[in-house]
Chains A and B, each alone.
Chain A
Amino acid sequence: MGVAYVSPWKVPAGQNVQQNIEELHNSIEQLGAIKTGLFTVECESYHAVNVANSKTLHLIHSTEYPASRFACFEDGPSIVSDVMLPSFLSKLRSVWQPRKGGRIESKGHRYELGDFVLKTGIISMGPSTKGISLEVEYTPCVYPCDCWGIITELLKGFVGENMATNMPTLILEKSKEIYTPDITMQQYVELFSNMRKSNYTPIVCVK
């Protein structure tokens, strides 16, 4: 467990998600990374019925942390819990209910490259594909401020020199504190929210 950075992967015009993720896999494998399995990050969003402008509660599960559940409010407190949280929330179903179409997930491959763990996932909402996510985790270090340089350096290796190198606000706020996995999950939530908002032309996933 170290510091992780989650970013969207832009699909160039004229290419579909499937072709693009294969290209991404190729460039990761060319760096010498080894495939070590699959991963899924799932996010289910809840809202309070009968409450005007209700806050949204996100419940996240990642196969990387199979015994934990992550819950966070949009720009609010986040909490890590054990696997009982979904059944706890189902007891509150007279107030808190899953949002329609509020389920979004990123599913894909997990790679290891020395001290790095890379995860490339296809983000999908129901049957429609929204885009690609890329997570880079540097495992030996827990302080973001100390390893941001090496993370961006690795990314430049296959993104190219023109990638943005600013720390995302979520990490920047706590860059001198010990990094915890719930920050990774908040990055996924932020990414998922952006994917929902942006006018991505949904591509029907061919399975």
Chain B
Amino acid sequence: IMVDAADYQPLSGDAPVIANMQEFFLQGSVLDTCVDKIHERLQGLCDNVSPEAFTDHERTYVMRNTTSNMPITVKACQSLVDKSAVPWQIKYMGNTDVGDRTKSAMIRSSVSVAVSKDPSEFLEDLGFVLQFEVILKGYFYRKGRLKITVAKLSGSIDPNKHEAGNMSHLIEVSALASPLDESAGDEVRIFSQFLRPIVFLDKVDVRRLQ
């Protein structure tokens, strides 16, 4: 019997191609009264598949470290729509790079890992501290490699109560690509321009808001 050698080195040589991806993204918000218009326009612009409804419970964890004053941010995400079919995800969120005028979109590095169970205990053991949690409820569209979400944010984690609260929806257009792939940023920008004048998606320097 011929025996095939295990021809790959797990942990070292088998790193997937998407290991070093950056997220190019733009954000904006609309009032609830305009959100129907956004949905109509997105259905016209995006790939011809029906938008996917989602309700996600998102917990944001941070870890301070001694070498840098920027904390490490990680999100743990669970779909509330179909808890058993969709695994928990943990997502590393790099610091957002707003860039200068020549850059089309904001950039952050991002690594998503699907995990088998509630990762809270695991993240706490790694040294993360829960910062806040939100519920995101909305729709998800796609166009090629672009991902567009229209969602309502709610600070209350009781799914029955979260209709109340703020009066706007968060819109995000994003694409995952290699850091050298400037065209992804342009794609995000051009697509965002199609949503005008209902919403202006732009780069937001979070540091200036604080």
Segment with Cβ contacts to A, from B110-118, B137-145, B172-180, B185-193: B110-118
B125 touches A76 (CB 8 A): yes
Kindly name the residue among B4, B113, B116 whose own CB sees the greatest number of chain A CB atoms within 10 A.
B113
A-B contact pairs, 12 of them (CB 8 A): A38-B4, A73-B125, A79-B117, A80-B116, A81-B90, A81-B113, A84-B19, A84-B111, A84-B113, A88-B90, A91-B111, A95-B126
Which residues of B from 75 to 134 have beta carbons under 8 Å from A? Answer: 90, 92, 94, 109, 111-117, 119, 121-122, 125-127
B residues with CB within 8 A of A: 1, 3-6, 10-11, 14-16, 18-20, 63, 65-68, 72, 90, 92, 94, 109, 111-117, 119, 121-122, 125-127
**A142 contacts the other chain (Cβ, under 8 Å)?**
no
Total A-B pairs in contact (CB under 8 Å)? 98
Instruction: Give chain A residues whose Cβ lies under 8 Å from the Cβ of B111.
Output: 84, 87-88, 91
Listed from nearest, the 6 A-B pairs whose CB atoms lie closest are A61-B10, A80-B116, A87-B19, A84-B113, A77-B121, A81-B115
**A5 contacts the other chain (Cβ, under 8 Å)?**
no
Measured as residues with beta carbon below 8 angstroms from the partner, the interface class of chain A is 35 or more
B10 touches A79 (CB 8 A): no
Partner of B92, one of A81, A86, A88, A95: A88
B122 touches A42 (CB 8 A): no
Instruction: Give chain A residues whose Cβ lies under 8 Å from the Cβ of B63.
Output: 92, 95
Instruction: Give chain A residues whose Cβ lies under 8 Å from the Cβ of B4.
Output: 37-38
A79 touches B122 (CB 8 A): yes
CB proximity of A112 to chain B, nearest CB, Å: 11
Contacts A84-B16, A84-B112, A91-B109: A42 and B10 contacting too (C-beta < 8 A)? yes
Instruction: Give chain A residues whose Cβ lies under 8 Å from the Cβ of B68.
Output: 94
Kindly name the residue among A37, A63, A92, A182 whose own CB sees the greatest number of chain B CB atoms within 10 A.
A92
Instruction: Give chain B residues whose Cβ lies under 8 Å from the Cβ of A76.
Output: 121, 125
B125 touches A40 (CB 8 A): no
Cα distance, A52 to B138, chains bound together (Å)? 44
Partner of B5, one of A38, A44, A92: A38
Instruction: Give chain A residues whose Cβ lies under 8 Å from the Cβ of B126.
Output: 57, 92, 95-96
Cα distance, A40 to B6, chains bound together (Å)? 8
CB proximity of B93 to chain A, nearest CB, Å: 9
**A3 contacts the other chain (Cβ, under 8 Å)?**
no
Instruction: Give chain B residues whose Cβ lies under 8 Å from the Cβ of A42.
Output: 10-11
B114 touches A81 (CB 8 A): yes
Cα distance, A75 to B117, chains bound together (Å)? 17
B72 touches A91 (CB 8 A): yes
A71 touches B65 (CB 8 A): no
Q: Which residue of A lies closest to B112 (CB)?
A: A84
Cα distance, A109 to B6, chains bound together (Å)? 10
Partner of A71, one of B1, B16, B112, B122: B122
Instruction: Give chain A residues whose Cβ lies under 8 Å from the Cβ of B19.
Output: 84, 87
CB proximity of B61 to chain A, nearest CB, Å: 11
Instruction: Give chain A residues whose Cβ lies under 8 Å from the Cβ of B65.
Output: 50, 94-95
Instruction: Give chain A residues whose Cβ lies under 8 Å from the Cβ of B11.
Output: 42, 44, 59, 61, 86
CB proximity of B90 to chain A, nearest CB, Å: 7
Instruction: Give chain B residues whose Cβ lies under 8 Å from the Cβ of A36.
Output: 1, 3
